[in-house]
């Protein structure tokens, strides 16, 4: 109880905002190379054996990587219930599409090699491509829509009403954000293949990864310019009760041009995120060309983390702005669970996250090394 009293409501809200960012980055960095590898499958692998090598590079780890997505969804449900209610109901169809695409992956892993028929395997290869490309695109599209504001409002009795549509999400800026996501995950997948494969597959991955790294820089820069010139941000215009009740309607807010860049002006150190978002893919490109697999993968991961952090730095303290009623926008200070709930969750997270990280690290250590294509060709019974 003493610790509970020392950790103020304001502090716990800030900690959980940071933890959600950590979970999103954990998912993007780990499952991101799975998605990127799936996108690259038809291009980096030209023969059936090469594609089996690519599939087996992620086959043993993809399930563990998706734990971060489950953790993120659970944390949003428990720590930010209003965010969960708006996003999971408003983006329901988009999330359903993502779910279908993600379900295709394990089915394709299991069934692709059940028959020798080339047409059968080609169809499952398409499924794996879809399972990588669609989530990568829609996750980015969702982020682009969050930056623009989501069309939701609260009624007088605090019921949530979402007034958007699935195709309304596919606006130009959101699609640009989606392309940023696809490019950076293709880059990440290519660095993973550089690490886990050799020969022709690694060389093709290096070529595609180099293009994807340049595309990431160009598209991310274009998105930043578009955000400044075309997308209005949000700002709070009333006093902020950082330890107040979780009721967004107790504040006032407005839409203002350039508001998403106010935090960078107020806190110059926050420029580190977008700068690293531009420089890290270039470092990944350099290491790819030098055939330095581990530094390339780390630089790619840093770039992904920095791009996600730059969104959080721009929007803080907003989590989900409302384009219909800026006052209804969800912020760090007015949309969380109770003080006690956040504290209990933090205790559990402090115990279990290190266990998850330690176990995951051990798995990657055990599976370290390149996929043996010859062993797959000789009929390794454990290979996909």
* Structure confidence by residue, pLDDT tens digits, 16-47: 999 999 999 999 999 899 999 999 999 999 99
CA distances from 294 to 190, 288, 290, 291, 370 (A): 12, 9, 11, 9, 12
pLDDT category, 372, cuts 50, 70, 90? confident
pLDDT at 90: 79
CB proximity list for 196: less than 8 A, separation 6 or greater: 57, 370, 371
Cα separation, 144 vs 230, in Å, equals: 12
Lowest mean pLDDT among 45-49, 50-54, 110-114, 235-239: 110-114
Name the more confident of 350 and 304: 304
d(CA 195, CA 197): 6
Q: Using an 8 Å Cβ cutoff, are 136 and 185 in contact?
A: yes
Among the residue ranges 206-210, 217-221, 375-379, the one predicted with the least confidence is 375-379
Task: Give the DSSP H/E element, type plus range, for residue 84.
Answer: helix 81-90
Beta bridge partners of 254: 235
Identify the band that residue 283 occupies on the pLDDT scale cut at 50, 70 and 90: very high
- pLDDT, tens digit, 9 for 90 and up, residues 45-69: 999 899 999 999 998 888 888 888 8
Whole-number pLDDT of residue 1: 53
pLDDT band at residue 382 under the 50/70/90 scheme:
low
Q: What is the pLDDT of residue 245?
A: 87
Mean pLDDT taken over the chain = 91
What CA–CA distances, in Å, run from 309 to 17, 23, 242, 278, 303? Answer: 12, 12, 22, 13, 10
Residue matched to tokens 């030098």: 290
The whole-number pLDDT of residue 380 equals 63
The number of residues in the chain equals 384
Query: Contact at 8 Å (CB) between 228 and 258?
Result: yes
For residue 61, give the 3-state DSSP assignment: coil
Any residues with CB less than 8 A from the CB of 76 and at least 6 apart, and which?
20, 83, 84, 87
Instruction: Grade residue 367 by pLDDT with cuts at 50, 70 and 90.
Output: confident
Residue 181: helix, strand or coil by DSSP?
helix
CA 216 to chain CA centroid, nearest Å: 15
Q: What is the mean pLDDT of residues 102-112?
A: 89
Buried b / exposed e across 163-195, counting CB within 10 Å, b at 16+?
A: eeeeeebbeebbebbbbbbbbbbbbbbbbbbbb
Query: How far apart are the C-alpha atoms of 23 and 358, rounded to whole Å?
Result: 15
Quick: pLDDT tens for 115-158. 888 899 999 999 999 999 999 999 999 999 999 999 999 888 88
The fraction of the chain above a pLDDT of 70, given in percent, is 98
Helices (H), 316-338: none
For residue 5, name the pLDDT band (cuts at 50, 70, 90): low
Distances (CA, A) of 1 to 245, 338, 347, 349: 21, 15, 12, 17
Q: Which helix (H) or strand (E) holds 80?
A: none
Contact in structure between 234 and 240 (CB atoms under 8 Å): no
Q: pTM to 2 decimals?
A: 0.93
């Amino acid at each position: 109880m003493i610790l509970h009293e020392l950790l103020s409501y304001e502090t716990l809200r800030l900690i959980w905002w940071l933890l959600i960012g950590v979970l999103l980055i954990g998912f993007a960095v780990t499952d991101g190379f799975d998605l990127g590898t799936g996108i690259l499958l038809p291009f980096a692998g030209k023969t059936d054996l090469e594609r089996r090598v690519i599939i087996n590079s992620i086959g043993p780890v993809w399930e563990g990587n998706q734990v971060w997505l489950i953790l993120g969804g659970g944390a949003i449900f428990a720590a930010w219930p209003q965010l969960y209610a708006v996003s999971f109901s408003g983006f329901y169809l988009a999330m359903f599409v993502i779910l279908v695409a993600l379900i295709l992956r394990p089915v394709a892993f299991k069934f692709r090699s059940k028959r020798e028929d080339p047409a059968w395997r080609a169809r499952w290869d398409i499924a794996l491509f879809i399972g990588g490309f669609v989530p990568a695109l829609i996750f980015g599209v969702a982020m682009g829509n969050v930056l623009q504001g989501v069309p939701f409002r609260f009624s007088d009795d605090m019921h949530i009403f979402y007034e958007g549509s699935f195709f309304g999400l596919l606006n130009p800026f959101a699609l640009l954000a989606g392309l940023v996501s696809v490019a950076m995950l293709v880059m990440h997948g290519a660095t993973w293949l550089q690490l886990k494969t050799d020969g022709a597959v690694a060389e093709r991955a290096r070529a595609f990864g180099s293009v994807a790294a340049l595309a990431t820089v160009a598209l991310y820069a274009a998105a930043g310019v578009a955000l400044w010139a075309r997308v209005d941000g949000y700002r709070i215009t009333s006093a902020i009760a950082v330890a107040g009740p979780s009721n967004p309607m107790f504040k006032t807010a407005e839409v203002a041009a350039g508001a998403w860049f106010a935090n960078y002006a107020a806190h110059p150190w926050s420029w580190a995120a977008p700068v690293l978002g531009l420089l890290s893919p270039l470092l990944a490109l350099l290491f790819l060309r030098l055939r330095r697999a581990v530094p390339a993968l780390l630089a790619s991961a840093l770039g992904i983390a920095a791009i996600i952090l730059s969104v959080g730095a721009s929007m803080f303290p907003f989590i989900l702005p409302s384009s219909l009623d800026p006052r209804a926008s969800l912020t760090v200070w007015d949309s969380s669970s109770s003080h006690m709930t956040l504290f209990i969750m933090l205790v559990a997270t402090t115990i279990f996250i290190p266990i998850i990280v330690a176990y995951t690290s051990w798995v990657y250590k055990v599976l370290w090394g390149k996929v043996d294509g010859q062993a797959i060709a000789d009929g390794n019974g454990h290979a996909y």
